[in-house]
């Protein structure tokens, strides 16, 4: 079996949480590891070899690879968030198509990543294309700068869920992201309303209550 390049170094690091004390339930941190000196072929081989591990996500950027095994709460929050957003789009008849944690990579730009969730707006995503929107749940601090990774892939919008609230980042034509109050692709989406339901454990009840709130226009 092919092996990693001999100059690759593994740097394990504890995941630092981004929560205010008492703001949300005490986290069980995601497990993260950073590997430096990884070639593109090493990354592709690792992604293929470890593809059978449920939930494992890889972020590759310019020779550095982050491995992340999400915690239960991370997966719960990202799934609940996706269900809420997609329910909102369904109720308002918005043309949103979900693609989950699809792997996106570009050898020329030395980047590869699997977002927590991603969507296209108004059209299906063909092979080789990128999503319009990606979602990242910041349950524990990433070891790589995800906005820098997504900027290189020219993703139009990145939505971050962190510390009980959403932040929207819209990419400029010349590159780089700027914070925005609303999505430029789905301006109708009420992030404050969605945020009220993300951390609910009773997912089904939360979805019903959320749907009622959307119908009431609240």
Check whether 2 has a pLDDT greater than 80: no
CB-based contacts of 13-20 (< 8 A; 24+ apart in sequence): 13/143, 15/140, 15/141, 16/140, 16/141, 17/139, 17/140, 17/141, 18/138, 18/139, 18/140, 18/141, 18/162, 18/163, 19/163, 20/163
pTM: 0.83
CATH number given to 9-216? 3.90.1570
- Indicate the Cα dihedral angle 135, 140, 145, 149, nearest 10°: -40
- Percent of the chain at pLDDT > 90 equals 69
pLDDT at 64: 96
Looking up tokens 């995800």, which residue turns up?
A: 146
Check whether 7 has a pLDDT greater than 80: no
CA 180 vs CA 162, 167, 172: distances in Å: 15, 8, 11
Work out the average pLDDT over 100-121.
95
Strand partners, 180: 168
Check whether 77 has a pLDDT greater than 60: yes
CB crowding 60-71: b at 16 or more within 10 Å, else e: bbebbbbbbebb
Cα separation, 190 vs 100, in Å, equals 21
pLDDT at 71: 85
Q: Check: CB of residue 168 under 8 Å from CB of residue 191.
A: yes
pLDDT at 201: 87
pLDDT, tens digit (0-9, with 9 covering 90-100), for 127-182: 889 999 999 998 878 889 999 999 999 999 999 999 899 999 999 999 999 999 99
């Amino acid at each position: 079996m092919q092996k990693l390049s001999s100059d690759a170094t593994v740097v394990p690091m504890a995941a630092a949480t981004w929560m205010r004390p008492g703001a949300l339930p005490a986290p069980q941190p995601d497990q993260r590891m950073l590997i430096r000196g990884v070639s593109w072929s090493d990354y592709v081989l690792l992604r293929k070899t470890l593809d059978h591990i449920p939930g494992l996500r890889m972020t590759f950027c310019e020779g550095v690879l982050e491995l992340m095994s999400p915690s239960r709460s991370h997966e719960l929050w990202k799934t609940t968030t996706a269900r809420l957003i997609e329910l909102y789009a369904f109720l308002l008849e918005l043309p949103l198509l979900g693609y989950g944690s699809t792997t996106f990579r570009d050898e020329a730009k030395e980047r590869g990543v699997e977002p927590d969730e991603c969507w296209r707006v108004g059209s299906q995503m063909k092979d080789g294309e990128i999503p319009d929107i990606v979602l990242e749940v910041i349950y524990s601090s990433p070891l790589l700068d995800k906005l820098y990774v997504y900027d290189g892939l020219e993703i139009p919008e990145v939505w971050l869920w962190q510390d009980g609230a959403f932040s929207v980042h819209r990419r400029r034509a010349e590159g780089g992201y700027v914070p925005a109050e609303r999505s430029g692709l789905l301006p109708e989406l009420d992030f404050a309303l969605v945020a009220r339901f993300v951390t609910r454990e009773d997912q089904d009840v939360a979805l019903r209550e959320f749907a009622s709130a959307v119908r009431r226009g609240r």
